[in-house]
Structures are given as structure tokens and as C-alpha cells.
Copies of this chain bind each other. A is one copy, B any other.
Amino acid sequence: MSRSMVKQDFPVSNIRHFLEPGPVVLVSSKWQQQANIMTMGWHMVMSFSPSLLACVIDAGNYSHALVRNSGECVINIPSATLVDKVVGIGNCSGSEVDKFQAFELTADKASKVGAPLINECHASFECRLHDDAMIKQYNLFIFEVVKAHVTASADEESSLHYRGMGEFMLSGRSIDRASLFTSSMLV
């Protein structure tokens, strides 16, 4: 049973808190009334301000054209409780399946992009395509995160980290080493 997630504004310059640990994400997109979701593990933070991230969306994915043509997407972070949906979404194509319907996920309206937020995820980052220069050669998209939404209890959610071959690493406990940092390094 999925939970409905109420999210709050979150500073776009600090999305590293959720993305830098490397979770599997769900990318939602929409173009010309066609919405889709894909499962993605190949992404990285690139810059705090502007808030840039890079990711690979293979041209074989139905989402590739939706994201490229609309110049937008939403990067959503699913809790580990959604693992079976995450796998299912990754193993079928938006050309054949309405994934919001098939996986019983709720499309919430975003504030700055046309692509929908996935309500059941605990963090959703609205993205605009910032640089398309490497798409043709590497399927590499560079996005700017223009709005971030995070639930109040997001830090308590477990995340999924893919290893290939059907194996997921779950996030573990956190440790604090702030006392070892010089203040200028503490970002």
C-alpha cells in the first residue's frame, strides 16, 4: 500500500543531501500529453549553484524523446518500500504501458515544469534541460534543478542503490564527522 506524501519546499542548492549518496531514482516526464516514468541509476551532482546534475538516459528508453523534446523532467526518489514498483517500472516500456496507471502511482502537478511529480516518492526535483551538447554522443543530459520538494520525514526513509543483476544495496545508518571538517569545507 502506497502512502500519500506531503512535501515541502527544499533548497535546490542542497539536493546533494539526497542525490550524492547514489540512490536509484524515478524520472517522470511528459510531452504532448504522453507521461512516462523510468528507473535510473546513472546520475551525479555537478554544481551547487546553479544546481546542476548530470544523468544518462539511453536513446532506447521511451523517456529519452519525452525528456529531450520537452526539455524537462522530474527526478523522484523512491523509498525502499517501493522496490517492486521500481523494478517493474524499469522492466517495461512506456511505449506499451501507462506506468502511472499500471504501478498505481499518483501524478502531482509540478510548479515550474510540465512533467508530473510522483506523489509516493519522498523527494521530487523539478529539472530543466540545461545543456544538450552531450546527448547525441553519450545520451548525457545536464539538468538544472529549478524546484525541490521533500517530505518532512525524508531523512528517515531508506533508499535503494542498484548493483546490477537484480541486486539492490539498501541505505544504512548515518555517521557524523562534522567535527573533523574545517568550517570552510563544511558544505
Binding site for B on A (CB under 8 A): 14, 16-18, 20-23, 41-47, 52, 54-56, 83-84, 87-88, 90-91, 133-134, 138, 140, 142, 158, 161-182, 185-187
Q: Which of B17, B42, B44, B161 is in CB contact (< 8 Å) with A56?
A: B44
Whether A185 touches B91, Cβ cut-off 8 Å, given contacts A84-B180, A169-B172, A170-B172, is yes
Contact A172 B158 (CB under 8 A): yes
A56 proximity list for chain B (CB < 8 A): 44-47
Query: How often does this chain occur in the complex, in copies?
Result: 2
Instruction: Classify the secondary structure of A's interface with B.
Output: mixed
> For residue A181, which residues in chain B have a CB less than 8 angstroms away from its CB?
87, 91, 166
7 A-B pairs in the complex with CB atoms less than 8 angstroms apart: A20-B42, A20-B162, A44-B55, A44-B56, A45-B56, A91-B182, A134-B134
Residues of chain B within 8 A of A52, CB atoms compared: 138
**Known: A42-B20, A142-B138. Contact between A167 and B174, CB under 8 A?**
yes
Q: Which residues on B sit within 8 Å (CB–CB) of A142?
A: 138
Contact check: which of B14, B88, B171 meets A164 at CB < 8 Å?
B14
